[in-house]
Chain A
Amino acid sequence: MSAEPTTIRSLDDPTIMVETPATIYDAIPPYPARTEREAEFYALRDGEMLINLGPQHPSTHGVLRVVLRIDGERVVDLDPVLGYLHRGVEKICENGDWHHAISNCDPLEYIASMFSEAMPVLAAEKLLDLEVPRRADYIRVLCWELNRIASHALFVGWLALDLGGLTPILYGFAERDEIVEMLAALTGQRLLFNYLRIGGVNGDLNHDFMSRLGEWMSRALVRIEEQQKLLNQNEIFIRRTKGLGVVSADIARRTLLSGPVLRATGVPFDVRRAHPYSVYPELEFDIPVRSEGDSYARYLLHYDEIKQSIGIIDQVLAKMPDGPIMAKIPRLLRIPPGRAYVAIESPRGQYSCYGVSDGSDQPFRLRIHDPSFFNLQAVGMMMPGNLVADTMAIMASLDPIMGGVDK
């Protein structure tokens, strides 16, 4: 922090230059720049200023802090600051056994925790070379797709909420609530299900779940079509999403984006197709793709995916085989030494896990790759040049879940 005076533009009259103590600018950050990029970011040019969003800003979907460097209303550059929700899940997983890892991974992607809790399960199964009973696989796919719809329904609501539209989130939550109640009837939990097990699932389909599912399925498609009308033709919504946050296919690939953010750029990449897992090869579904790469394309893609998921649920219910729901595994589970890499398609993209076992009952290393973490990185490319008010709209269209970003 230096006490030398600096010349800045007057706030009252931008044509006048006034002398000011340099402390207000030097105070951010309160430590010397650690990298070239950080020094570059905090070296403000004439007329620029820093503005801090978060970490408690309601629109950052959790505790994300973003330092924006702005020139007037335009964002010049930004620096996301992560870690406010860091719990060290990977370390905790290393210190518990493989079964504990399931519930430890649950709160990573807390909007769709059926996906994050699958990570240690699938990794352990691959290391054990364990074949899961077909019924358990079908139940898993059923839960995954239901959870995907619940997550996507909320995404649309959130996006509209960040643009000032209050109605869609009520519809989104109504849809989500029916699904989580349904899953609560199956798993006992509304949010963090802790339902998948190494070798199968915990508990068979029950009457309560099936009746709720049947009732919801009978009108799901109609309701989704109805909700689409709320925003698809809404002029304010279109103006604030179309052409904003554009990312090209090549840049999306190099930035390691995945999920709807990648598919909105025209790349038909879906882990369910590219690297099939579970019983997805037996099911028929399309990979919806849009080519614009902007916020509006991402929004439309979410509805397309909801429709595909409903189709998958239909097939799963028709094909649901009988049989056991758990493979026979020993009670004290020692995973053979080895390395395994598993990946699934979560609502936000490629969710993958690199598990290393040293032959004990605890994971030696459990690396979780969270799509929100990688997708959030794209804000650095999407934001510059946009208005401050649009930063939230762009961020919401990436749909990051800070539980997974911060791990």
Chain B
Amino acid sequence: MTVADVAALMTTLHDDPDLRFLILSDLAGVDTGTTMQVVYHLWSDTTPDWLRVIAEGLPREDPRIPSVTFLWNGAEWAEREAYDMFGIIFEGNRDLRRIYMPPDYQSFPLRKDFLLADDAARSPGQGVRHMEQTFMPAESGAQPALRQGTGAGTTDALPMTTDALAASTPDTADASQRAPT
């Protein structure tokens, strides 16, 4: 099955009289570092059965998946949240806009390549990383000073790091004034 079949799969799980997974317990986006996932948790309304459906392998550049709002209109905000946090596009959701972040925001905060300013624990040896090093101006062409000297393997685990950050610089003018030293 492919990701595009999610809508048909969910319809079957929801409508089939033997299955009756009528409750969408949760809809979560997950970034594995290389691909994106959307994880659905379904509950039966009569028995304690539960089911986890993982739509995996969505490309990071353009993650697209059918919306399930035609079955559960309450999934609309959950999908908006996944879009806001991961950039996953739910085709068929008629109100897919940012829900938490401001409308002019460019990044997707819960992606693994979005690093917190003081994310010292995940970059051993780097110590506390400063905001200026995390967000580089796009025009300068400079590579963000991320995860350098942290040993082999770290950049492989996060292939999109530089591209995504360069594309998602939130405030170019401001950041260029605070050029990294």
**Chain A interfacial positions (CB closer than 8 Å to B):** 29, 31, 34-38, 82-83, 86, 88, 90-92, 94-97, 253-257, 269, 274-276, 339, 341, 343, 350, 352, 354, 356, 362, 365, 367, 369, 373-374, 377-378, 406-407
| Contact between chains at B25 and A369 (CB < 8 Å) | yes
Chain A: minimal CB distance from B167 (Å): 19
Docked-complex contact A38 and B74, CB < 8 angstroms = no
Q: Across the interface, do B74 and A86 meet the contact criterion of CB distance under 8 Å?
A: no
Residue in B closest to A81 when the chains form the complex, CB atoms: B99
Majority SS at the chain B contact face? loop
Interface readout for B117-147 with A: 1 if CB under 8 Å, 0 if not?
0010110000000000000000000000000
The residue of chain A having its C-beta at the shortest distance from the C-beta of B95 within the complex is A37
- Across the two chains, which residue of chain B brings its CB closest to A257? B74
- Pair A95/B121 contact, Cβ less than 8 Å: yes
B109 touches A91 (CB 8 A): yes
**Contact assessment for B97 and A38 in the assembled complex, using a CB-CB cutoff below 8 Å:** yes
Q: Are A275 and B48 in contact (CB-based, < 8 A)?
A: yes
Contact A29/B119 with A369-B26, A377-B77 known, Cβ cut-off 8 Å:
no
User: Which residues of B are found within 8 Å of A29, using beta-carbon distances?
Assistant: 103
Contacts of B23 in A (CB 8 A): 253, 256, 269
Decide: A377 near B104, CB < 8 A? Known: A339-B52, A341-B41: no
Q: Which of B8-36 contact A (CB under 8 A)?
A: 22-26, 28-31
CA distance in complex: A255, B69 (Å): 9
- Residue ID in chain A nearest B24 by CB atoms: A256
Within 8 A of A (CB), among B56-114: 71-78, 81, 85, 94-104, 109-110, 114
Of B39, B94, B99, the residue contacting A82 (CB under 8 A) is B99
The reply to whether the CB of B173 lies closer than 8 angstroms to some CB of chain A is no
Once A35-B96, A86-B100, A407-B100 are accepted as A-B contacts, the answer to whether A341 and B77 lie under 8 Å apart by CB is no
* A374 proximity list for chain B (CB < 8 A): 74, 77-78
Whether A256 and B41, one on each chain, are in contact in the complex, defined by CB atoms closer than 8 angstroms, is no
Which residue of chain A lies nearest to B96 when distances are taken between CB atoms in the complex? A35
Q: Can you name 24 A-B residue pairings with CB atoms under 8 Å? A: A29-B103, A34-B97, A35-B94, A35-B97, A36-B95, A38-B95, A82-B100, A83-B99, A92-B116, A96-B121, A97-B121, A253-B23, A253-B45, A255-B74, A256-B24, A256-B78, A339-B39, A341-B25, A354-B26, A354-B39, A356-B30, A367-B39, A373-B77, A407-B100
Q: How far is the CA of A406 from the CA of B99 in the complex (A)?
A: 9
Q: Give the distance to chain B from A191, nearest Cβ to Cβ, in Å.
A: 23
Which residue of A97, A274, A350, A406 is within 8 Å of B100 (Cβ)? Answer: A406
**Residues in B neighbouring A362, C-beta threshold 8 A:** 121-122
Most chain B CB within 10 A, of A31, A269, A341, is at: A341
Q: How many residues of B contact A (CB 8 A)?
A: 44
Q: Are A37 and B72 in contact (CB under 8 A)?
A: no
> Once the chains bind, are A367 and B22 in contact (CB under 8 Å)?
no
- Which residues of A are found within 8 Å of B48, using beta-carbon distances? 274-276
State A94–B31 Cα separation when bound (angstroms): 12
Chain A residues within an 8 Å CB radius of B103 = 29, 31, 34
The residue from B22, B25, B101 contacting A352, defined by CB atoms under 8 A apart: B25
Contact residues in B for A367 (Cβ distance below 8 Å): 26, 28-30, 39
CA distance A233 to B93 in the complex (A): 44
Name the residue of chain A whose CB is nearest to the CB of B97.
A34
On chain A, the residues within 8 Å of B26 by CB distance are 341, 352, 354, 367, 369
Q: In whole angstroms, how far apart are the Cα atoms of A362 and B124 in the complex?
A: 14
Cβ contacts under 8 Å, A92 to chain B:
116
A359 to chain B, nearest CB (A): 13
Contact B94–A254 (Cβ < 8 Å): no
Residue of B nearest to A365 (CB): B30
- List A contacts of B75 (CB < 8 A): 256
Is the CB–CB distance between A254 and B73 below 8 Å? yes
Q: Which residues of A contact B110 (CB under 8 A)?
A: 88, 90-91, 94
From B24, B94, B97, B101, A86 is in contact (CB under 8 Å) with B101
